[in-house]
Amino acid sequence: MGTRCLRILSTRWRVFAITSQPSRRTALRDNGAVPLVADLDRPATLARLAGLADKVLHLAPPPARGEGDPRTLALLRALRRGAWRRCAARPGGWFAKPAILPDRGKGRSGRSAAPPAFVYASTSGVYGDRGGARLAESQAVRPQTARARRRVSAEQAVRDFGRHAGWRASIVRIPGIYAEDRLPLARLAKGTPALAPQDDVYTNHIHALDLARTMVASLFRGRAQRVVHASDDSEMRMADYFDLVADRRGLPRPPRLARAQLREAVEPTLLSFMSESRRLENARLKRELRLRLRYPTVASFFDA
């Protein structure tokens, strides 16, 4: 996602991209970014971020263990230290994993410029299983896994930061991402089973390009303390998605098993994704971000 965001942003803005791997600097430059070597797991390396820019895309996931997200907390602390500091350099942006940071001074009219913007890439997993119910962004979270609880912790930290540090903080909840290079082809080739119709769950999808467009739109049009669902208009059960991909790419459809049988056939992590059913509404994406999806459904991607 970071590379796709870079390709959109770097045509008009100066973008700083954080990486913990020095070997990635060339690739980031090739995509139009100014690379900064820093590590969210080593807070001391983040000191230079304070006051660097005033728009941030935070794309880094939480650690794989624990209940909280120390990476997000470290980033927010670094930004808070420079919340009121003017940047002498050219306005720009940055990514944390990559992250995105323009000057927070006054415009030419002498009026105060808009507050800086922070956009956090979260996950729809914070809702847990809702039995296939349709969910608006105002729905309360109900995480059922440690992975989702870490995301909720990060979201709360972002909200608190926005309220107390004067940033326009917004959250984008992301479902399953797909693209030509992100299709479940290996899973289909392996013959990993899917759920039988009576046990199948609703899943939500977004093409990687539309997700990048959503993240960039949120930087400029996202509302403070607001959640947006980065989800398309598809209404599909998980196995139906696998069948669609298999049919369009000439692969066999996966076998279908009842849930009791599936527990013995797949890894626990995969089973957890197959145990949550919900349908995300996306009215805010269209109304507030004014985004017209390039691929409004998964089928439209294959038909393009």
256 and 193 in contact (C-beta within 8 Å)?
Answer: yes
Helix (H), strand (E) at residue 206: strand 205-207
Q: Which residue has the higher pLDDT, 109 or 13?
A: 13
Q: Identify the band that residue 96 occupies on the pLDDT scale cut at 50, 70 and 90.
A: low
50-66 pLDDT, tens digit each: 888 889 999 999 999 99
Which is nearest to 172 in space by CA: 129, 120, 219? 120
187 and 245 in contact (C-beta within 8 Å)?
Answer: no
User: What three-state secondary structure class fits 68?
Assistant: coil
Mean pLDDT of 240-263: 97
Q: Prior bond to 91 cis, omega within 30? A: no
91-100, 152-161, 256-265: least confident range: 91-100
Domain ranges in the chain? 2-178+205-234+280-298
Q: How far is CA 265 from CA 145, 194, 246, 270, 271, in A?
A: 20, 10, 20, 10, 9
State if pTM tops 0.85: yes
- Order of all β-strands in the sheet with 14-19: 33-37, 14-19, 92-96, 55-58, 117-123, 168-174, 226-229
Q: Identify the band that residue 98 occupies on the pLDDT scale cut at 50, 70 and 90.
A: very low
Instruction: Indicate the fold that domain 2-178+205-234+280-298 takes in CATH.
Output: Rossmann fold (3.40.50)
- CA 281, 283, 288, 293 dihedral sign is positive
Mean pLDDT of 199-213: 98
Distance CA 217, CA 235 (A): 24
Distance CA 235, CA 202 (A): 7
- CA 274, 278, 284, 286 dihedral sign is positive
